């Protein structure tokens, strides 16, 4: 370990790794500190769904930047990034209406990916979607393919990125809790680390490291129930699959009037699923198993006790969607992320100390772009001197 780093990063999830990548690309010395012995936070517990198309506002900006970075990591880190797109199945006309509205909006908006001729939203007939995803025959009224979305294996992606960064000189300090951060210094359970810039990327644990900020901003914790199942699908899922419930979540869907009607209909028909704050969605893993999710429950603390009725509901609606027997559960887990009134927490709390978190469930999709933005801002506003930071500022 050195006496001084240009950049110290607290947290080795996708946002912390994104910050390390951004700093390393600028030739800076970097240390990443994590209290865990392995990367086991939200960044390995998710679907691996890089869901760029249904984002809007700043999330779309971060999504576009992230997409480029994921594709670059596919080359540089030999990371498996699948160009699957996302499939959205519509089982009711109001769902098709939202997809049609998004297709029209995207046809007229600035492209997510420069140079791509592909439409962002391809509307599909019932026969087309049922030919491409193994849902129960005759159960849909149509659907869409969001062709620019990507998929990664969440169990591998962050480890591959961390190994790539380590090869490029980033130092990792696991099993080391950060207890406090001040301008230029990080206090840890292994002693003090000096750094010109500190990026705090601890997700929901921001409420422990910066309780006042979390309370002021209104950040709470969101717990999610997830399953990995053997679903016995008719044929493999060609990409992540969203349903009508997903149209109530991502910001580019929710702004269309039909989304309000979907909410009313689904909540009236399925009060128990609505109370679970369901997002019925799926990704298939390389071994053929299916990640199934998810429920959402919020609080200042998240109890670890997962109600089996929620899992049973997820299995029942999965069997119904695919027209299969109830799937066999291979694994169950709980994930937790920071949940706030806005989609991000981006704040410089002291000179050179920057907080970065996705405060809704889009951190895998947008976290690399968020981190790039925060590091860029940190460098442009740095007021202290460090040999490489000074050099970086001179060249920028
Ligand atoms: C079940 C689930 C499904 C999801 N699905 C998707 C999806 O498909 N697509 C998508 O875009 N997003 C998804 N998300 C959201 C996404 O996974 C998160 O937004 C993202 O992973 C957050 O990354 P992070 O780096 O901020 O946090 P994390 O990955 O949680 O990493 C934070 C790290 O900080 C460390 N840490 C905390 N406190 C300290 C401390 N004091 N000292 C040292 N280290 C500390 C932790 O040990 C941890 O390793 C999902 C989330 C969950 C939970």
b/e map 262-290, b = 16+ CB within 10 Å: bbeebeeebeebeebbbbbbbbbbeeebb
Ligand 1 and 367: CB distance under 6 A: yes
Number of domains in the chain: 2
225 and 243, same structural domain?
yes
CA of 128 to the centre of ligand 1 (A): 35
By alpha-carbon position, which residue is closest to atom 15 of ligand 1? 361
Q: Please say whether the beta carbons of 336 and 223 come within 8 A.
A: yes
226 and 172, same structural domain?
no
159 and 68, same structural domain?
yes
Ligand 1 and 352: CB distance under 6 A: no
Atom of ligand 1 nearest to the CA of 334: 1
Q: Which of 274, 234, 216, 15 is nearest to 134 (CA)?
A: 234
304 and 196, same structural domain?
no
State the DSSP string of 90-101.
Answer: E-SHHHHHHHHH
Low-confidence ranges of the chain (pLDDT < 50): 390, 393-396
Q: Please say whether the beta carbons of 33 and 198 come within 8 A.
A: no
139 and 6, same structural domain?
no
169 and 52, same structural domain?
yes
CA of 176 to the centre of ligand 1 (A): 17
CB neighbour list of residue 290: distance below 8 Å, 6 or more residues apart = 228, 229, 230, 231, 233, 237, 282, 283, 284, 318, 327
- What pLDDT does 395 receive? 39
Domain of residue 13 covers 1-85+151-219+341-396
State pLDDT tens for residues 225-252. 999 999 999 999 999 999 999 999 999 9
CA of 202 to the centre of ligand 1 (A): 7
CB neighbour list of residue 188: distance below 8 Å, 6 or more residues apart = 33, 173, 176, 177, 178, 179
- What pLDDT does 114 receive? 74
238 and 374, same structural domain?
no
By alpha-carbon position, which residue is closest to atom 31 of ligand 1? 13
382 and 364, same structural domain?
yes
73 and 2, same structural domain?
yes
State pLDDT tens for residues 325-340. 999 999 999 999 999 9
306: helix, strand or coil = coil
Q: Which of 214, 230, 174, 162 is nearest to 340 (CA)?
A: 214
176 and 160, same structural domain?
yes
CA of 119 to the centre of ligand 1 (A): 31
- What pLDDT does 385 receive? 53
184 and 272, same structural domain?
no
78 and 6, same structural domain?
yes
- What pLDDT does 394 receive? 43
CA of 261 to the centre of ligand 1 (A): 32
- What pLDDT does 388 receive? 59
């Amino acid at each position: 370990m050195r006496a001084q780093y240009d950049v110290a990063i607290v947290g080795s999830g996708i946002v912390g790794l994104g910050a390390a990548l951004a700093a390393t690309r600028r030739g800076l010395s970097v240390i990443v500190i994590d209290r865990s012995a392995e990367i086991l936070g939200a960044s390995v517990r998710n679907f691996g769904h890089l869901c760029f198309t249904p984002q809007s506002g700043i999330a779309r900006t971060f999504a576009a930047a992230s997409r480029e970075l994921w594709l670059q990591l596919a080359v540089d880190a030999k990371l498996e990034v699948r160009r699957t797109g996302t499939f959205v199945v519509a089982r009711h006309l109001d769902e098709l209406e939202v997809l049609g509205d998004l297709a029209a909006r995207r046809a007229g908006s600035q492209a997510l990916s420069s140079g791509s001729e592909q439409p962002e939203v391809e509307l599909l007939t019932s026969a087309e979607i049922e030919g491409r995803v193994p849902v129960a025959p005759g159960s849909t009224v149509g659907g869409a393919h969001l062709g620019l979305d990507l998929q990664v294996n969440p169990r591998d992606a962050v480890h591959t990125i961390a190994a790539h960064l380590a090869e490029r000189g980033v130092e990792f300090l696991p099993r080391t809790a950060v207890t406090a951060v001040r301008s230029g210094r990080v206090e840890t359970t292994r002693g003090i680390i000096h750094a010109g810039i500190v990026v705090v990327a601890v997700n929901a644990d921001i409420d422990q490291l910066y309780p006042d900020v979390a309370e002021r901003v209104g950040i709470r914790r969101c717990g999610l129930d997830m399953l990995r199942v053997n679903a016995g699908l008719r044929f493999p899922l060609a990409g992540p699959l969203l349903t009508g419930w997903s149209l109530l979540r991502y910001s580019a869907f929710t702004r269309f009037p039909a989304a309000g009607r979907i909410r009313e209909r689904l909540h009236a028909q399925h009060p128990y699923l609505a109370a679970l704050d369901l997002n019925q969605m799926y990704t298939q893993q390389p071994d053929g198993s299916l990640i199934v999710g998810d429920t959402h429950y919020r609080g200042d603390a998240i109890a670890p006790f997962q109600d089996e009725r929620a899992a049973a509901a997820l299995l029942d609606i999965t069997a119904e969607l695919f027209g299969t027997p109830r799937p066999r559960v291979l694994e169950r887990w709980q994930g937790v992320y920071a949940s706030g009134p806005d989609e991000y927490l981006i704040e410089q709390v002291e000179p050179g100390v920057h907080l970065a978190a996705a405060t809704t469930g889009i951190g895998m999709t947008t976290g690399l772009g968020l981190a790039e933005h925060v590091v860029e801002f940190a460098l442009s506003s740095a007021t202290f001197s460090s040999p490489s930071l000074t050099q970086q500022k001179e060249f920028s």
